[in-house]
Amino acid sequence: MYIIIIGCGGTGAALAKHLMSEDHEIVVVEKDDERAKSLAESMDALVIHGDGSNTEILKDAGIDKADAVVILTRDDNTNLTICQIVKKFNVKRIVARVNDPSKQDLYIGLEITAAISPIAAIVSYFKNAITQERGRSLVSIGKGKAEMMEIRLTNEKLDTRKIKDVGLPSDATIGLISRGGEVIIASPETILRKGDLLTIISKTEASKDVITLLKG
């Protein structure tokens, strides 16, 4: 994929390096001159010194052919503005950082692919680490109405059953299965095995029932 990262602090740099390790083509747009120079020296990616809200800078970055744009500046007004500009180029995937969780709805209103609040995600992670002993919440979705979580399947009664036959609540779905170093995209016909690490999206109100079912 051709991916543009706008605002490349610590999170952006780590993301860029991870994506490059998976052979994605990365372009970084960084407004701070010293930061841009440092990034250019430390990673094998095109680094453009400029303002990500400037259309000409975005064109220089290859916005017309971008498969995804990740917006990670520390200013929500800037991020929201860039989201609006990028949408005009019909980029399929737009992901933005939400610095102030109270502004999450503004991002949702733009109908971008994902608006991620690091603060809200960390709070949710710690809360669930305290209150949910047998499941690990990865991220809160829709202002806490749903969540993505990981659960290790330990209920022996569900070993070798198809997903469609395990009796999951209607408000929950298994998306991915990690098994023996492999990642399996789940379907209703997928057979579960004891020890599988399941990635699940569930309405928050159904999470407890999901955990009880899968853990036994």
* 61-89 confidence digits (pLDDT tens): 999 999 999 999 999 999 999 999 999 99
**Does position 128 have pLDDT exceeding 80, yes or no?**
no
pLDDT band at 131 (very low <50, low <70, confident <90, very high): low
pLDDT at residue 64 in the model: 96
CB 51 within 8 A of CB 75: no
**Cα dihedral sign, 112-144-136-72:** positive
Mean pLDDT calculated for residue range 117-128: 73
pLDDT band at 140 (very low <50, low <70, confident <90, very high): low
Half-sphere exposure at residue 213, Cβ-oriented, CA atoms within 13 angstroms: 17
pLDDT at residue 92 in the model: 92
CB 31 within 8 A of CB 51: yes
Lowest mean pLDDT among 99-108, 135-144, 155-164: 135-144
CB 158 within 8 A of CB 194: yes
Largest Cα separation within the chain, whole Å, is 59
Question: Torsions phi, psi of 5, nearest 5?
Answer: -110, 120
CB 68 within 8 A of CB 95: yes
Percent of the chain predicted with pLDDT > 90: 68
pLDDT band at 23 (very low <50, low <70, confident <90, very high): very high
pLDDT at residue 160 in the model: 96
Lowest mean pLDDT among 93-102, 117-126, 127-136, 205-214: 127-136
Domains of the chain: 2-116 (3.40.50.720), 138-215 (3.30.70.1450)
Q: Which two tokens stand for residue 32?
A: 């701070």
pLDDT band at 129 (very low <50, low <70, confident <90, very high): low
> pLDDT tens, 164-173?
999 999 999 9
